[in-house]
């Protein structure tokens, strides 16, 4: 894909978000578009920046660190959306704005410890597909993590993230998004201190419309904006 198509692609995705919201009576300003730039060069990110995109997501800690360093003069809000490793958290903790992929209390503690003066908004990733390799905490373990997360200073737990099963027909995964929305509603009672559940990160290029219909406040969109990837 040509770099010059990126702004057009962004407009198309934003239009789709607006249309979906209009159809179901939601305000489209409630839905944040995170442009997932993983595997793509920083010139692609700069192109998207030139047409007003400021939220960017990456799924590898090393790659995120390098891109944050290269683009440190730019006004970008960075989202870590992929697997975490405790020993690499220090690479990104003092700069990253959002982390969607918290699967263990241990990771929250490490971000808290390494944040420096940074404030980090985090989401707990929940396993909604039943597929082990997609990761995430089991729904029944969510309450325990939230109860142990109320006293952080640099970290807030502000939502839940889920990845649906890959499928050709996004209708097949509507129940998975519904499950995450139900868990989100049921766990509001744990909001206190540094826990304040208000964001629901679900939906990607192929299933963002269904996710928005089921209540997503953040969608993570890669290939629809930056083109297909050779690897993840």
First and final CA of the chain: distance in angstroms?
A: 17
Contact 204, 219 (CB under 8 A): yes
Rounded-to-integer distance, Cα 56 and Cα 35, Å: 5
- Return the percent helix, strand and coil in the chain, to nearest 5: 45, 20, 35
Complex with ligand PLP: residue 68 or 204, whichever CB lies closer: 204
Angle at which helices 42-50 and 61-70 cross, to 10°: 60
Among 21, 31, 36, 93, binds ligand PLP (CB under 6 A): 36
Complex with ligand PLP: residue 184 or 226, whichever CB lies closer: 226
Min. distance of Cβ 150 from ligand PLP in angstroms? 26
Complex with ligand PLP: residue 115 or 204, whichever CB lies closer: 204
Min. distance of Cβ 154 from ligand PLP in angstroms? 23
Q: Which stretch binds ligand PLP (CB under 6 A): 11-19, 72-80, 171-179, 219-227?
A: 219-227
Rounded-to-integer distance, Cα 96 and Cα 173, Å: 30
Residue 77, both tokens: 């809000």
Complex with ligand PLP: residue 181 or 220, whichever CB lies closer: 220
Complex with ligand PLP: residue 33 or 68, whichever CB lies closer: 33
Which residue's Cβ lies closest to ligand PLP? Answer: 222
C-alpha to C-alpha distances, 24 to 77, 171, 184, 202, nearest whole angstrom: 28, 16, 20, 17
Any contact of residue 5 with ligand PLP (CB under 6 A)? no
Q: Which of residues 76-115 bind ligand PLP (CB under 6 A)?
A: 81-82
Q: Which stretch binds ligand PLP (CB under 6 A): 72-80, 135-143, 173-181, 222-230?
A: 222-230
Complex with ligand PLP: residue 26 or 220, whichever CB lies closer: 220
Any contact of residue 39 with ligand PLP (CB under 6 A)? no
Number of H helices and E strands in the chain, helices first, is: 9, 8
DSSP state of 39: T
Question: Which residues contribute to the site for ligand PLP (CB under 6 A)?
Answer: 36, 38, 59, 81-82, 163, 204-206, 220-224, 232
């Amino acid at each position: 894909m040509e770099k010059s198509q990126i702004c057009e692609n962004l407009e198309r995705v934003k239009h789709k978000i607006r249309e979906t919201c209009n159809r179901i009576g939601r305000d489209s300003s409630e839905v944040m578009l995170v442009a997932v730039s993983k595997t793509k060069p920083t010139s692609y990110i700069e192109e998207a920046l030139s047409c007003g995109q400021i939220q960017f997501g990456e799924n590898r800690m090393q790659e995120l660190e390098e891109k944050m360093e290269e683009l440190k003069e730019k006004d970008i809000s960075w989202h870590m959306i992929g697997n975490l490793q405790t020993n690499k958290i220090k690479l990104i903790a003092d700069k990253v704005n959002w982390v969607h992929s918290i699967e263990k209390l241990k990771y929250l503690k490490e971000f808290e410890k390494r944040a420096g003066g940074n404030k980090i908004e985090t989401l707990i990733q929940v396993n909604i597909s039943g597929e082990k390799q997609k990761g995430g905490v089991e729904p029944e373990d969510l309450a325990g993590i939230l109860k142990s997360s109320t006293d952080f200073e640099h970290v807030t737990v502000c939502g839940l993230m889920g990845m649906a099963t890959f499928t050709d027909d996004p209708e097949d995964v509507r129940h998975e998004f519904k499950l995450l929305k139900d868990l989100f509603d049921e766990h509001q009672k744990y909001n206190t201190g540094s826990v304040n559940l208000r964001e629901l990160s679900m939906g990607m290029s192929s299933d963002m419309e269904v996710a928005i219909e089921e209540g997503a406040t953040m969608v993570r969109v890669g290939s629809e904006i930056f083109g297909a990837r050779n690897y993840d």
